[in-house]
Structure 1
């Protein structure tokens, strides 16, 4: 199929969705109003000028089933998940800024219909590819996990690691006891952080970094928020990436939305000072992200 014919088919499909009533109201809700939220709403409206995008004020959030059934609802943050789950009826809903662990605490393994969870933590497969590109000499990837992040560790165990990498797991029930951390560092070449606040937090991160860098080992992740603290690198998605990912989903009929997904658009953030101290030569973050994108499966 030629690119011109493909574009025509996509346009026809989008038009059919619009004529069928898809070009409806897009409602955005968050726990608290803020200038950043207002900018997000305005930016999405700019991307979708033919639709009405508006903030759903708290006084209109009576029950989800009271909202227009043909609307599409975007919730920012895990705080509103319980409100949405209060009624099975209601418009199809996208939930942003929710981590795997936050969803696990509220939902377990359930993925309710009419609900799409867009994960805020970096995809583990993407983080492993970042390790492979940044540290080609690394062979053993150490992974710490707690009782809260067993589900994330199990997901990693089920994954096929990139060629040349093996995963080493260590349960760490008490961050006040450094022995599990040291055991893992002795059997690893690099640490992959999971987005588990019980392990990676302002109180624990200094000890983890001192122990790992004492062995000339880098920490990847757990999120971009830890780069300034001393993590070497991480993939992440900023507002523009989320808007692009949302835009693509909103072009599709809600019945074709996945139950859960990571954002397709992302960037890489690295810490050059940490790289120099570890003797690691970093490539430009934009070029690194582009190489990762080229290596990912295309939708």
Structure 2
């Protein structure tokens, strides 16, 4: 299917959904079609059977903003699509998926309609509690971030102190040179970079470049996703797609039936993965799978259902 045919297909799909008298849940995305079809299929099994799910690309959707109805729901994939939807003029609801908490909080003030989300990554307290068990270095934890996230330094500093840690914060530009220069700056006082979900900071190969630089300097990063562990971070606490969709489906159901908007959250089901090579190289002893589950409520990647 070429580009023009795809475009016509999604326009027709959108119009068919808009002409339907019932509410429509639009999944706004810029990912490949096979991925969004799979995502929509999985979501369809979790929401009421009468829920009309319509995946549509963001550039097509912009042309039909006026067709949105008050009972419609817009599910956005990623922070860019969330920001886009918050600029729409309609009375429906927006639900963000595959977005970091700090990204969500940065955009939220510009979102006038009822809004919720399901966060990627994991709560700060969950990461700090695990880190307290395995990391004995008392140097500050470094946190690099772009201007596309909202970092509450006071909140994070207070929470870190509860676990015996201190944060060193540094906002950086997102071009490759600036990012790598910032890594060198924070590593003058810290041996570990702590990450939050920050799409702008880590895109265009920046994440890989940072991890390569850290490897060369024998320093480490705590990643926000499993992909970071595979690329060279020490560990990551995160949720899988199914857990995110279950939390999203609950929010869709409550909004459809009660017009009650549940708060944005992290999924309850969280996983943890360690990088075995780095664990061994740095002498870190990871907790057993049973301890991870009993103490932190985390599922060790190799034993998850």
- Normalising by structure 2, report the TM-score: 0.70
Name segments (4+ residues, structure 1) moved above 6 Å.
none
Please give the alpha-carbon distance, in whole angstroms, between the structure 2 residues aligned to 1:53 and 1:129. 41
Distance verdict in 2 for CA 1:204–1:258, change over 3 Å: same
Contact 1:227 1:234 in 2 (8 A): yes
Aligned: 1:95 with 2:96: yes
Distance verdict in 2 for CA 1:153–1:138, change over 3 Å: farther
Counterpart of 1:278 in structure 2 is: 282
- Residue of 193, 198, 203 corresponding to 2:209: 203
Counterpart of 1:19 in structure 2 is: none
Please give the alpha-carbon distance, in whole angstroms, between the structure 1 residues aligned to 2:139 and 2:33. 43
Report which of the two has the higher share of helix.
2
- Normalising by structure 1, report the TM-score: 0.71
Distance verdict in 2 for CA 1:292–1:113, change over 3 Å: farther
User: Paired residues, what number?
Assistant: 263
Counterpart of 2:131 in structure 1 is: 131
Counterpart of 2:187 in structure 1 is: 182
Deviation at 1:240, TM superposition (A): 0.8
Deviation at 1:170, TM superposition (A): 4.6
The alignment partner of 1:86 has SS state of: coil
Counterpart of 1:262 in structure 2 is: 266
Distance verdict in 2 for CA 1:33–1:277, change over 3 Å: closer
Counterpart of 1:171 in structure 2 is: 170
Contact 1:77 1:95 in 2 (8 A): yes
Contact 2:116 2:261 in 1 (8 A): yes
| Structure 2 residues without counterparts, runs of 5 or longer | 1-21, 173-177, 299-305
Counterpart of 2:119 in structure 1 is: 119
Counterpart of 1:151 in structure 2 is: 150
Please give the alpha-carbon distance, in whole angstroms, between the structure 2 residues aligned to 1:31 and 1:25. 19
Counterpart of 2:9 in structure 1 is: none
Please give the alpha-carbon distance, in whole angstroms, between the structure 1 residues aligned to 2:105 and 2:68. 27
Please give the alpha-carbon distance, in whole angstroms, between the structure 1 residues aligned to 2:226 and 2:155. 20
Deviation at 1:127, TM superposition (A): 1.7
| Structure 1 residues without counterparts, runs of 5 or longer | 1-22, 295-299
Deviation at 1:239, TM superposition (A): 1.0
1:213-232 equivalences under 5 Å are: 213=219, 218-232=220-234
CA RMSD of the aligned region, Å? 3.4
- Residue of 288, 292, 295 corresponding to 2:296: 292
Distance verdict in 2 for CA 1:182–1:161, change over 3 Å: closer
Aligned: 1:193 with 2:195: yes
Please give the alpha-carbon distance, in whole angstroms, between the structure 2 residues aligned to 1:50 and 1:89. 25
Please give the alpha-carbon distance, in whole angstroms, between the structure 2 residues aligned to 1:31 and 1:224. 21
Task: Please list the CA deviations of residues 136-185 of structure 1 after superposition, one character each: whole Å capped at 9, or x if unmatched.
Answer: x3544412325637832626535423644121315375423665233222
Contact 1:75 1:96 in 2 (8 A): yes
Contact 1:28 1:73 in 2 (8 A): yes
